[in-house]
Amino acid sequence: MRLRKITYALFIIATVCLFTSCKKECKHQSIEWVIDKQATCTEEGIEHEECTKCHEKFDIKEIKKLKHICNDEGICTICGNKVATSGLIYKLNEDKKSYYVSEYIGIDIDIIIPAKYDGLYVTSIGDSAFSNFIGLTSIEIPNSVTSIKYGAFSGCIGLTSIEIPNSVTTIESFAFSGCIGLTRVEIPDSVTIIGAFAFSGCTGLTSIEIPNSVTSIRYFAFSGCTGLTSLEIPASVINIEDSAFSGCQNLTSIIVDKKNQKYDSRNDCNAIIDTQTNALIMGCKNTIIPEDIKSIGVDAFYRCTGLTSIKIPDSVKTIGTRAFNGCTGLTSIEIPSSVTIVDYCAFDDCDNISYNIYDNGKYLGNTENPYLVIVGVTNNTTESFSINPNTKLIGGGVFSKCRNLKSIEIPDGVTSIGVSAFNWCGSLKSIKIPDSVTSIGDSVFSGCTSLKSIEIPNSVTSIGDSAFSGCIGLTSIIIPNSVTSMGDEVFNMCKAITVYCEALERPSGWSEWWNYSNYGNCNVIWGYKKNK
């Protein structure tokens, strides 16, 4: 009896101990969600949170409805409801065998497009079909669609992600431009062409994987995607157009697949280089320009605000349009004497560079010649201007819009006058081009409405597109035999002009359209001989 009592007491104590020790032990170290009711495509589900040990319950939550599984006809294969969104407008394609979505006039913000309409496949999302539909939250594109047309989703700022089916081969221009809410987009490996401006201004994108099916990335395709930090170009890409990644200022790494035949990122330089031409077409703040680069491309470092120093090697001959425009992190940059052309606004808005100043001009150069190239002016209302006597290059756009500029002396020694250098200098009456100049770029004197006469020295070998367009005051000009290359519409809208050419007929290097004008082709006299 006594023994039983003791045993009983011990049992009680043990149980209490066990119980309290468990209580002490359980500080809910492992908590999980338990489903009470599964969600379906028509009803929400329920789940709650509980401790896996003591099963104490905490939170209760609704589970979102599942996606309908939409068949070709727009019917859900699970619930049998019609789930294709109403308000989609379909139009027959030219082949009359398929449809495209041309417009949306419905009210839903979560859209499901069926693969078929009226028995025929829907093969594309038409031009601007959903453009600027800011309420659009999600969209399901069927895998009958092969192309997303011009501006189809541009400005859909509410769109956070999109699944592009792997039937799509072409993402046309502006397709997703300005979709600032997009944080994730998977480009399927069926896509071969990414159109111009297709993802431009998608500032929310933090990464993008370009699949190894893409052959062409058109101009400005990813421009202004400031969220991107790294870029990989696969082997399949054979065409990257100017400015494709312009203004992607937060890129820190750029890698081209070693198997790519057209482009490379040699010596881990963090840039895209055209292998054959040695042109650097896109860089970032960590770029080291390799020693064999010949040119720096359009927008290569445009608004690369993180770039604090860069060495341009003396293999470089051309610095492209806006190449370093807006590089506010740069305080200095040396231009080697190998450079022969500095294109339009290449160094504009580099607010923190300490330029070499002479008269009203901003210059860049090197220790031997600090005034190698004039890249800007400090005062664009000036009436007269003198360029430093050591200057060799006039950068593109430098005097453009100096509307009061009446006279300017170009020193002997200047070899190249960059594109649009004197564009819209409406007060400029005359200008002497020294016989050191070999190239007159595109639009150099276009819009110089007061220009009465100009002499082209016989050192000049090339004259660019529209070089004198809109020079309505010009009545005559002599083109010497030395000019072997002539662009399009060089004298467009020069109503009164007669062009005297020393050549007997149009040289092969001149554009067919060289003397085209909106008023009919300009008057041309071939075989002109100067009076000796």
| Residue 22 found at the interface with Zn ion (CB under 5 A) | no
140 touches Zn ion (CB under 5 A): no
In whole angstroms, the minimum distance from the beta carbon of 323 to Zn ion comes to 54
Q: How far is the CB of 55 from Zn ion (least distance, A)?
A: 7
Among 6, 13, 20, 28, binds Zn ion (CB under 5 A): 28
Q: Which of 78, 89, 157, 478 binds Zn ion (CB under 5 A)?
A: 78
CB of 70 or CB of 228, closer to Zn ion: 70
Task: Tell me the sheet residues that pair with 101.
Answer: 90, 125
In angstroms, the CA 384 to CA 500 distance is 30
Ranges within 31-70 binding Zn ion (CB under 5 A): 41, 51, 53-54, 68
Q: How far is the CB of 74 from Zn ion (least distance, A)?
A: 11
Residue 26 or 120 having the CB closest to Zn ion: 26
Q: Distance between CA atoms of 346 and 324, rounded to whole angstroms?
A: 5
Minimum CB distance to Zn ion, residue 250 (Å): 41
Residues 6+ apart with CB under 8 A from 393: 339, 340, 341, 342, 372, 373, 374, 414, 415, 416, 418
Which lies closer to Zn ion via its Cβ, residue 112 or residue 171?
112
Least Å from the CB of residue 71 to Zn ion: 10
**Residues in binding contact with Zn ion, number by CB under 5 A:** 10
Q: Which residues pair with 216 in a beta bridge?
A: 193, 239
Quickly count helices (H) and strands (E) in the chain: 1, 39
Minimum distance of Zn ion from residue 79's CB (angstroms): 3
- Whichever of 78 and 503 has its CB closer to Zn ion, that residue is 78
Residue 76 or 280: which CB sits closer to Zn ion? 76
Closer Cβ to Zn ion, 51 or 255, answer by number: 51
Nearest distance from residue 82's CB to Zn ion, in Å? 10
Task: Find the helix or strand (DSSP H, E) in which 112 lies.
Answer: strand 110-112
CB of 283 to Zn ion, least distance (A): 50
Q: Which stretch binds Zn ion (CB under 5 A): 71-79, 165-173, 189-197, 467-475?
A: 71-79
**Which token pair is 55?**
């099963």
| Region of residue 258 (phi > 0: left; psi between -120 and 50: alpha; otherwise: beta) | alpha
Does residue 120 bind Zn ion (CB under 5 A)? no
Cβ-based nearer residue to Zn ion, 54 or 525: 54
Cβ 160 to Zn ion, closest distance in Å? 23
Dist. CA 450–CA 453, nearest whole Å: 9
Q: Is 32 exposed, middle or buried (0-12, 13-18, 19+ CB in 10 A)?
A: exposed
CA 211 to chain centre: 18
Q: Tell me which stretch binds Zn ion (CB under 5 A): 6-14, 79-87, 357-365, 397-405.
A: 79-87
What is each CA distance from 423 to 168, 294, 429, 481, in whole angstroms? Answer: 44, 27, 13, 25
Site for Zn ion in 279-308 (CB under 5 A): none
Binding Zn ion (rule: CB under 5 A), the pick from 26, 75, 120, 255 is 26
- Nearest approach, Cβ of 65 to Zn ion (angstroms)? 9
Give least dist CB 23 to Zn ion, A.
9
Six token digits for residue 59: 């939170």
215: exposed, middle or buried (Cβ count in 10 Å: 0-12, 13-18, 19+): middle
Residue placing its CB nearer to Zn ion in the complex, 70 or 421:
70
Q: What tokens were used for 133? A: 């539909």
* Closest CB to Zn ion among residues 76, 444: 76
Stretch that binds Zn ion, among 27-35, 183-191, 249-257, 295-303 (CB under 5 A): 27-35
Contact 357, 363 (CB under 8 A): yes
The H or E element containing residue 102 is strand 98-104
Position among 75, 79, 109, 255 found at the interface with Zn ion (CB under 5 A): 79
Nearer to Zn ion, 8 or 58 (CB): 58
**Amino acid letter at 512?**
E
- Sequence-ordered list of residues with C-beta below 8 angstroms from that of 27, at least 6 positions apart, any chain: none
Q: Indicate the Cα dihedral angle 101, 105, 107, 113, nearest 10°.
A: -10
- CA 216, CA 187: separation in Å to the nearest integer? 13
Among 47, 74, 76, 374, binds Zn ion (CB under 5 A): 76
Q: What are the residues binding Zn ion (CB under 5 A)?
A: 26, 28, 41, 51, 53-54, 68, 76, 78-79
